[in-house]
A and B are shown apart, each in its own frame.
Chain A
Amino acid sequence: SQQGEEDPQALSIQEGENATMNCSYKTSINNLQWYRQNSGRGLVHLILIRSNEREKHSGRLRVTLDTSKKSSSLLITASRAADTASYFCATDERDTGRRALTFGSGTRLQVQP
């Protein structure tokens, strides 16, 4: 089963604009991670935020986490055509005992040059 649900499912923006993707999840977590996937390729880790953190930055990426609402957002600033990809949130569940990440269904981002 997939815990995270990303919103929107698809997003199309112009180069230079910011892209915001949201993720909601259902269970308590140890951490939440965001991954990127180019078409037909494997996933690449972008950023990890722990349950006791509220915001984290990495280059043009900004991630927020609200554990009370069980939600996270990924902001990509000053987007580039090369940012075109699918983006997935993944949760490390705390109470289920699972020791594998549970992925959401993804947001497909298209950045128009």
Chain B
Amino acid sequence: DTGVSQDPRHKITKRGQNVTFRCDPISEHNRLYWYRQTLGQGPEFLTYFQNEAQLEKSRLLSDRFSAERPKGSFSTLEIQRTEQGDSAMYLCASSLVSPSRGTGELFFGEGSRLTVL
């Protein structure tokens, strides 16, 4: 399977614990995005990487959230001291971007669903 993969698919944790999600993008893609989606809503942008550089972070990404993409390959999203409001689906997407084409099609993973008790 050469699509975007996310792990774990489901995570249940207690408030105050740290959680980490991993995303493996499509190998030739240079951009990687993290979105958050709550029930009945559309995905909300969190952050994105161009290769290994984190180029933009949403104001939604509080200081409890950190994302990395070492060596421009896989990415991790860590949430420290989780709160009940962090319960959501965390979606990763990747794309191949050229300067002239703007933001084209995003390829999404199946998401990591977080439940904070």
Residue on B nearest A29 in the bound complex, by CB: B102
> What is the CB-to-nearest-CB distance from B12 to chain A, in angstroms, rounded to a whole number?
15
- Most chain A beta carbons < 10 A, residue from B33, B45, B103, B106: B103
Total inter-chain residue pairs, C-beta < 8 Å: 70
Residues of B within 8 Å of A4, CB to CB, are: 42
Binary A-proximity of B1-40 (CB < 8 A = 1, otherwise 0): 0001000000000000000000000000001010100001
Check: A31 CB closer than 8 A to any chain B CB.
yes
Number of B residues with CB within 8 Å of any CB on chain A: 28
Q: How far is the CA of A102 from the CA of B56 in the complex (A)?
A: 13
Choose from B42, B102, B106, B108 the contact partner of A104 (Cβ within 8 Å): B42
Choose from A41, A88, A98 the contact partner of B42 (Cβ within 8 Å): A88
> Do the beta carbons of A106 and B41 come within 8 Å of each other?
yes
Size category, A interface:
20 to 34
Q: How far is the CA of A43 from the CA of B93 in the complex (A)?
A: 9
Q: A43-B108, A92-B103 are in contact. Are A105 and B42 (CB under 8 A)?
A: yes
> What is the CB-to-nearest-CB distance from A22 to chain B, in angstroms, rounded to a whole number?
15
Check: A44 CB closer than 8 A to any chain B CB.
yes
> Do the beta carbons of B102 and A30 come within 8 Å of each other?
yes
Q: How far is the CA of A107 from the CA of B33 in the complex (A)?
A: 23
Q: How far is the CA of A91 from the CA of B85 in the complex (A)?
A: 26
Choose from A2, A40, A98, A99 the contact partner of B44 (Cβ within 8 Å): A2
